Amino acid sequence: MISLPEAKQAGLDGVEIKFDPKANRVEFADESVRQSYKTQMRETGLVIPSISMNILNWVPLASDPRAPLWLEQTIDAAPDLGAKVILLAFFIKGDLLDAGGNVKQKDVDVVVERIRAAAPRARSAGVTLAIENTLPATENLRILERIGHDSVKIYYDVFNTGVVKGYDVPKELRLLKDLVAQVHFKNGGAYMDERKGYFEPIVAALNDINYAGWIVLETSNPSKNPVADTRRNVEFVRRLYSH
């Protein structure tokens, strides 16, 4: 992740931020931390569209009692930062698939219960809770149906699903339609323009479903220059959308 000043240099319009919890309190719960971000936003003209709870990869929402509290605190802090989406991550320790590729149904049951409990708070805050995981779209549709709340949608990562899991990304996006809250673009440890022909069908599918949200770059720095490498990826995405 790069800072807001670096993001401005790289040509970004905003930055998705993440946090490291301090004891049982997320850092965004402190007004001074939020004020620092708001100052950076004023100085750069950039916005914070979303907050990533990637901490759930190590402190799973399905099993750790701290996770629901941190989620509540993040929801409460998001409006002050202007963030409309909170990414709920389910990878590594929090993965909802086991080593054999089977759904961890007991974990899913707890996740559904805990997200359903947080959803009214999210609605009151004007925030969408966006689930990002390795499940196929059909499984995610079942989860959303069980939660049954319009403040809960899917955060779709086109690399984790298409390259890592081998899913048909355009087909999945067309299946999810308006249940896609936000999208991650990336290409592992390489530049995005090096994966020839991969992103064009994805952009076509996003256009077909009238997706108007943010394209968030979760990219690496092959040259060890985060500003230059991000700028290259930004320019590639802008070209994708210029045709």
Q: Could you state, in order of their start, the residue ranges of all structural domains in the chain?
A: 4-240
Cross-strand pairs, 17: 51
pLDDT at residue 240, as a whole number: 96
Q: How far apart are CA 12 and CA 131, in angstroms?
A: 24
Tokens 């994708």, located at residue = 240
pLDDT at residue 243, as a whole number: 73
Please answer whether residues 8 and 47 qualify as being in contact, where contact means their C-beta atoms are separated by less than 8 angstroms.
Answer: no
pLDDT at residue 158, as a whole number: 98
Please answer whether residues 206 and 176 qualify as being in contact, where contact means their C-beta atoms are separated by less than 8 angstroms.
Answer: no
- What are the tokens at 159? 């690399």
Please answer whether residues 69 and 22 qualify as being in contact, where contact means their C-beta atoms are separated by less than 8 angstroms.
Answer: no
Q: What is the pLDDT along the chain (243 residues), one digit of tens a residue?
A: 789 999 999 999 999 999 878 778 899 989 999 999 999 999 999 999 999 999 999 999 999 999 999 999 999 999 999 999 999 999 999 999 999 999 999 999 999 999 999 999 999 999 999 999 999 999 999 999 999 999 999 999 999 999 999 999 999 999 999 999 999 999 999 999 999 999 999 999 999 999 999 999 999 999 999 999 999 999 999 999 997
**Which CATH number is associated with domain 4-240?**
3.20.20.150
pLDDT at residue 129, as a whole number: 98
Which of 174, 170, 178 lies closest to 144, judged by CA?
A: 178
